[in-house]
Chain A
Amino acid sequence: MPETPISDRLELVKSPIDFDGLVRFVRAEKDGAIVTFDGFVRNESHGRATEYLEYEAYEAMAVTKIQEIAAYLHDKFAIHRVAIVHRLGRLEIGETSVFIAISAAHRAAAFDACRHAIDTLKKTVPIWKKEYFADGAVWADGELPPAPRSSKSAS
């Protein structure tokens, strides 16, 4: 039986992400596999040397959207627990900005769910990063989340 998403860890944090703790959190005796995704700050962007990044979020909405992702994963994939944690604020090169851990009885569902989670997060969760270089800063190119075209067709 799938457990309720209440047993998931879905958070925005402002300090370093404890990814070992997240892996331990999703791991249970009934599982046979954990797939993780570790997204961290690269030292360059489009050929320019990055000094650091700053992340900001529409925090309440971002948490809601991450919860929606987790609910979808439980609905569509035979997985056990989900941890999705995104860090905000200033991050240095090599620091983890997002960490996802998903446990399952078998590896295929965990791989598929983890891939879906990060791909969807990057398209729908209202978080923004600004890239700081030696000679300036730019907001990273992003993806425009899908929105209803008309309020008339929706409820």
Chain B
Amino acid sequence: MTSVLPTIRVNVLFFGRVRELAGVREEPQEIPVDATLADLFASYVKRFPKLAEFRGSLVASRNQEFAAWDTQLMPGDEIAFLPPVSGG
């Protein structure tokens, strides 16, 4: 038996230029139990290296509230990486 690190599942949403870059609107993600928003974003940078350029101009949200990058994620969380907003 190999030991498997416990994981949790979160739902990740993308909008605007980040959605175009990732090519996905919404997807479930398995992440380690102790993962933070920054860890989750880093996993996306591995998949989509160009995302690294956006790190400084994005804000993260957890369950529809703006959240700090060191926020630890919980099972079922709804996460989004939001570019600068331009409504109005």
Contacts and interface: CB of A to CB of B under 8 A. Distances in A.
Please classify the interface of chain A as helix (H, G, I), strand (E, B), loop, or mixed, using the class held by over half of its residues.
mixed
A142 interface: yes
Interface string A103-144: 000000000000000100111111111100000000111111
A4 interface: no
Contacts of A151: 67-68, 70-72
A128 B72 contact: no
Given A139-B83, A147-B59, 4 more contacts: A56-B16, A122-B86, A127-B88, A144-B57
Please classify how large the interface on chain B is, using the bins under 10, 10 to 19, 20 to 34, 35 or more: 20 to 34
A144 B71 CA distance: 18
B82 A58 contact: yes
A149 interface: yes
B77 to A, nearest CB: 13
A143 B58 CA distance: 10
Interface string B42-57: 0000000000000001
B5 to A, nearest CB: 22
Given A150-B68, A151-B72, A124 B61 contact: no
Contacts of B84: 141-145
Interface of A: 39, 55-58, 60-62, 64, 86, 97-98, 118, 121-130, 139-152, 154
B40 interface: no
Considering residues A124, A126, A146, which has the most beta carbons from chain B within 10 angstroms of its beta carbon? Answer: A126
A57 B84 CA distance: 12
A120 to B, nearest CB: 10
B85 A147 contact: no
A146 B66 contact: yes
Contacts of B88: 39, 86, 97-98, 118, 121-122, 127
A146 B70 CA distance: 15
Contact of B68 (A57, A61, A154): A154
B60 A128 contact: no
Contacts of B86: 122, 127-129, 139-143
